[in-house]
Structure 1
Amino acid sequence: MQKIMKSKISKFIIGAFVLAATTGSCTKSFEEINTDPDAFEEVPPTNLLANVLRNTGESFGGDIDGYGTFAGYIVKIQYLDYMAGLTPTNNTYGNRWAACYYNITQLNELLAITEETADIDKNVRYVARIWQYYMWSYLLDGWGDIPYSEAQQGAKELGSIVRPKYDKQEDIYPSILEGLKVLADEMAEDPGTDAVGDGDFIYEGNMGKWQKFCNALRLRIAMRISGVAPDLAKSTIEEICADPMAYPLLKTNEENCYLTYPGAAPYWEPWYTTGYTGDRRVDNFGMADIFIDHLNETADPRIAKVANVAADGQYRGFQNGAAATPPDLRDISFIGDKYMKDAVGFTPFYKSCETFYMLAEAALLGYNVGMTAQEAYEQAVRLSMQDNQIPEAAITTYLAGAGMWDGTKERIWWDMWVALFKENFEAWNLYRRTGIPSTNYPSLNSVYGDAHNDQPFRLPYPNNEFLYNAENVNSAAANVADFVWGEQLWWDQRTGVY
């Protein structure tokens, strides 16, 4: 499998270079001479899909600190984090903004070249549309107000809009849910027969799993806005749960939306690349004190997977933004081998256990989801434990002990926080929506001093927006303080944070 995927990725990269060579010319004769008659005149849809999925994994899968720190999982232990990098830039978070819009644009191209054959290319178009909605949701959850209705209309035939306005989050989320419902209905009523092709690095053309991922995104977004748009959230979730044949969900670990890697140079999993080929596993990334403390206090068996023991055989975390490094870096637990020491590894976009954590919360809210909150919670815990190769006896002990169902949303959220490890962006979303982990805190020696008592509320808008779309971005950021604080996102209803 690794060799096959390596071959696939290499083929797509080579194809991209060939295409570039055949389209970048100065004179007609030069173009004729340098055009390979065997090269693609048009990129195959599956190649475009492959490029987007690869780019998503590389752009978002490499985060170790950043979101990992915002979520309370990981801290720097040598080059200590004082939050100085949370400013407008075209690198780091700016790259991820650009990657989202790039991916959406590439998928628009896929849809454009298959427009005339839409009845034949249904499945690859379904996948492209699903991933576009995932990209939009990522932008919304990261930045809040974003260019949406006027985005990607810079071409003359599309309106020559090079400075798109920023739309409000509260307007975009319902639009995305509506689009996903249309897509879910189409997939249920009119499944395609075409093969997605080798470019599907996630589900390898299994459209049943893509259909489930589509509905899982609906569930995630509906739960995200449940505190501010309860009617829409309730109707969306109950519709999904009322008709599992039409709206199936991801419910097993075999269905997890994971991007895995070839595991051979240079196509290593991003955390492995940073930690082992980049040799940063020991000298920079340690486990956060609040994460290790929680796992120790609850005797959570997943600790042996998410973390390695320190030199003395104990699990020990470190403070976020401490004044000085630990005397010996080996006194701190590093990231567990399952998550970092695996060249094949995985970048998670959705874990099936999330489905049941959210259904448990929905049941507590009084939604009709076809199962009790306790049933959903316990299934979520089991899936998370099993995904971490925890023995059944240890799962039973945990559910009878600190992990026992107690009828509260907090019990759901604390366990979901543990389960989301490595899916750090989604864990940060959980924290901002629920306030769990309640022990979370920003860098102790932040360059902002005491101006802020919480992790960032959002990501900083890229510097290019301030350079080339200044009026619109400045309007969107009018109530933002120090680039990432100030006004909270629409669905972040916490109080007492600043």
Structure 2
Amino acid sequence: MKKFNKILIYGSFLLTLVSFQSCKTELEDRYVDPEQTVTPNIPAFFTQILNNPRLRSEYWHYRTFIFMHHARYTQTAYFENENTMYQQSDSYTNDYWKDFYSPGMMGIFRVMEKTFNGLSDQEKASKEIFMTAAKVVLYDQASKLVDNFGDIPFSEAGSLASTDQIKLAKFDDQKELYNTFLIGLKEANSFFKNASATNEFNRADILNSGNLTKWRKYTNSLRLRLLMRISAIDENRAKTDIMEMLNNPTEYPLLDGTNTGDYSVGTEDILLQPLTNYTSSLLDAVRELPSHYAPDYMLNTVLKTANDPRTTVLFDKFGETVGGKFIPNKEYQAMPITFTSAQANAQYMKYSVVDSATAWINNKLPGVLMTASETNFIKAEAQERWGTDAAAKTAYETAVKQSVAFYYYLNANSSNSAKATKPSSEVIDKFVTESNIAFSGDKNAKLKLIGTQKWLHFGWLQGEQAWSEYRRTGYPTLPAFPVSTLNGFQRPPVRLTYPSSEITNNSENYQAVKSKDTRDTKIFWDVN
């Protein structure tokens, strides 16, 4: 029965690819050569990898995965105080798993590999750029799976698509996978250094439009992210490699917005823009659980006390209708995290909500893969731990300014007409240097500032990164989580457990990781 199910999955995978290549969609019109649609087409496969729904800011990913898990475990979004608030959804976790494996990103990549291996040497030379770029995105997404689950199938995953043989994949060791990713990313940087984009690549690349400088910066910044993540368990390697990269920007160009606070977000960051025929938004994803109320610690403790200029593009004061007239609240205020569902339902109109233009009701909201602000926060931490305080201060202040620029960019480019006016550079500079987020104190205080501001920058929009960094650093120092009365789920987990479908379909290989498959087993880099 398992074999039959896998044949059905593979048949579905082939049907998906055929449909992708034969339908007259925007992707085909812009990026795929119609004359090649009846044969395996590496550019088309590459475009489909980039078009994965987990790379986009769309309903299903946020409603069923981020808001139900990561945003709750990091207090980056409001959640109702109820018994099941920390219970993982098995069916939705399975959807996430499938979007990577079957056919998903991994399945498509294996078909790309098989097609590539069948080419002549001359043909391979022209297609290697697709394989390298696809591998960078694959490593990015696979590292998220490691951060969520720990050991995952990888080296043997997708065997049916690549070899026409069914082989249930072993679970690769999470630490070894990180090593594979880090080595591969360094090799990709070397490749992009000497590569040249082709018109074919430019058409297929819906992420960076064929800009190899951006691909190289994305590759190096992703490597920087993963190195910092292992810095507590392999500090020597992290320190050596990170400082080598920071001290040699010519060899390792980074996605850092040219170290300018008021940088060009749309040009510099790695953002997957919505397709031109996309007309939906995160309206239902945000409000259904509900997740649209402002989270307590983020608004009341971090933003308000610093008079943070991001407040107006992250949240709306909200209000209530009295006598047929809407009366806005006088100030920004989030519900206390201790509120029960009954209290929230009775008093919600008194509290702030997520801003509608920036991320909630915005059908131009891009998928966020990497930002300059994140890179500079990593630089700041590295310099504070292993470099100079002056360099750490510069990187930190740049990162905060870039975070302000990033959220005002999302707001200004929104499909929603309710736009905010960006403060002057003088106002932003004063906020960075004179408020309670100013870079001061001892080393631990400064690392806390970096971690807290990085968490704020990620928010729920990059919920997976927020959860990983919160587990790694312990920052910010969040207020106590409400305690659930559901046995076994009283508090947030430190990892996600494998979906039941994987346990059933890959039961033999699962035995090797079964003892580690608990919500209290830490990911290898989590020693906090």
Measured against the shorter chain, the TM-score band is 0.7 to 0.9
Tell me the residue number matched to 2:402.
383
Q: 2:453 aligns with which of 401, 405, 415?
A: 415
Contact 1:322 1:444 in 2 (8 A): no
* 3-state SS of paired residue (1:232): helix
For residue 310 of structure 1, report the CA deviation from its aligned partner: 3.0
Secondary structure, counterpart of 1:444 in structure 2? coil
Of 178, 190, 205, which aligns to 1:185?
Answer: 190
Q: Is residue 2:296 matched to residue 1:289?
A: yes
* 3-state SS of 1:413 partner: helix
Higher fraction of helix: 2
Alignment of 1:229 onto 2:246: no
- Alpha-carbon shift at residue 239 of structure 1 (Å): 2.6
Matches within 5 A, 1:74-223: 74-77=77-80, 82-83=84-85, 85-86=87-88, 89=90, 91-101=91-101, 102-115=104-117, 116=119, 117-154=123-160, 157=163, 160-162=166-168, 164-193=169-198, 195-223=200-228
* 1:186-230 deviation digits (Å, cap 9, x = unpaired): 211344445424342221221110111000110000000000011
> Which SS does the other structure have where 1:348 is aligned?
strand
Q: What is residue 473 of structure 1 aligned with on the other side?
A: 510
Distance 1:346 1:297 in 2: 30
Quote the offset at 1:381 in angstroms: 0.9
Q: 1:285: how far off?
A: 2.8
Contact 2:110 2:158 in 1 (8 A): no
**2:243 aligns with one of 232, 238, 243:** 238
Name the stretch that deviates more: 360-369 or 93-102: 360-369
Shift of 1:372: 0.9
Q: Distance in 1 between matches of 2:199 and 2:114?
A: 17
Q: Distance in 2 between matches of 1:283 and 1:131?
A: 31
| 1:311-350 alignment, distance < 5 Å | 311=319, 312-320=329-337, 322-325=339-342, 326=344, 327-337=346-356, 338-350=358-370
Q: Do 1:177 and 1:221's aligned partners in 2 also have CA atoms closer than 8 Å?
A: yes
| Partner residue in 2 for 1:402 | 436
Aligned to 2:7: none
Show the 5 A alignment for 1:42-53. Answer: 42-53=39-50
Letter in 2 for 1:186: F
SS at match of 1:349: strand
Structure 1 residues 285 and 18, CA gap change in structure 2 (3 angstroms): closer
AA aligned to 1:402 is N
User: Which structure 2 residues correspond to residues 361-380 of structure 1 after superposition, within 5 A?
Assistant: 361-367=381-387, 372-380=391-399
1:103-129: CA deviations, max 9, x gaps? 022123224323422211233222111
Distance 1:322 1:206, change over 3 A: same
Amino acid of the structure 2 residue aligned with 1:274: A
Identity %: 22
Counterparts of 2:88 and 2:289, CA distance in 1:
24
Residue 274 of structure 2 corresponds to residue 261 of structure 1: yes
Cα deviation 1:210-260 (Å, max 9, x = unaligned): 111000110000000000011221222123223222221101233111122
Residues 429-473 of structure 1: per-residue CA shift (max 9 Å, x gap): 110101112115444335237x654x3211221111221222433
Which whole-Å deviations, capped at 9, do the CAs of 1:298-327 have from their partners, x for residues lacking one? 222211111111312332223558432320
- Runs of 5+ consecutive residues of structure 1 not aligned to the other structure: 1-12, 22-36
Q: TM-score, length-normalised on structure 2?
A: 0.78
Report which stretch shifted further, 359-368 or 126-135.
Answer: 359-368
**Aligned partner of 2:141: which letter?**
M
Contact kept? 2:448, 2:476, Cα under 8 Å: no
**Which of 224, 244, 249 is matched with 2:254 structurally?**
249
Match of 1:427 among 466, 478, 487: 466
Q: Which amino acid aligns with 1:271?
A: L
Alignment RMSD (CA, Å): 2.9
CA distance in 2, matches of 1:229, 1:398: 36
Partner AA of 1:433 in structure 2: R
DSSP-derived class of the 2:112 partner = helix
Give 3-state SS (helix, strand or coil) of 2:201's partner. Answer: coil
The 3-state SS of whatever aligns with 1:120 is: helix
1:61–1:347: 8 Å Cα contact kept in structure 2? no
Q: Shift in Å at residue 153 of structure 1?
A: 2.6
Measure how far apart 1:39 and its partner are: 7.6
* Residues 357-396 of structure 1: CA deviation (Å, up to 9, x unaligned): 0011001121589x71111111111111112234223312
CA distance in 2 between partners of 1:285 and 1:17 (Å): 36
Deviation at 1:156, TM superposition (A): 8.9
Change (3 A) 1:71 1:291: same
Change (3 A) 1:353 1:336: same
Specify whether residues 166 and 282 from structure 1 end up closer, same or farther in structure 2 by C-alpha distance, changes over 3 A only.
closer
> C-alpha separation between the residues in 2 aligned to 1:471 and 1:443?
38
CA contact (8 A) 1:118 1:125 kept: no
**In structure 2, C-alpha distance between the alignment counterparts of 1:119 and 1:378, rounded to whole Å:** 43
Aligned in 2, Cα 1:111/1:270: closer, same or farther, shift over 3 Å? Answer: farther
Structure 2, unaligned runs of 5 or more: 1-14, 24-33, 258-264, 320-328, 409-421
**Measured at CA, do residues 234 and 381 of structure 1 come closer, stay the same or move farther in structure 2, by a change above 3 Å?**
same
Tell me, in whole angstroms, the C-alpha distance in 1 between the residues paired with 2:297 and 2:192. 43
Distance in 1 (CA, whole Å) between partners of 2:268 and 2:495 is: 30
1:357 aligns with 2:395: no
Say which is worse superposed, 197-206 or 337-346, in terms of deviation: 197-206
Distance in 2 (CA, whole Å) between partners of 1:45 and 1:374 is 45
C-alpha contact 2:374 2:399 (8 A) present in aligned 1: yes
CA contact (8 A) 1:153 1:159 kept: yes
Q: CA deviation at 1:330?
A: 2.3
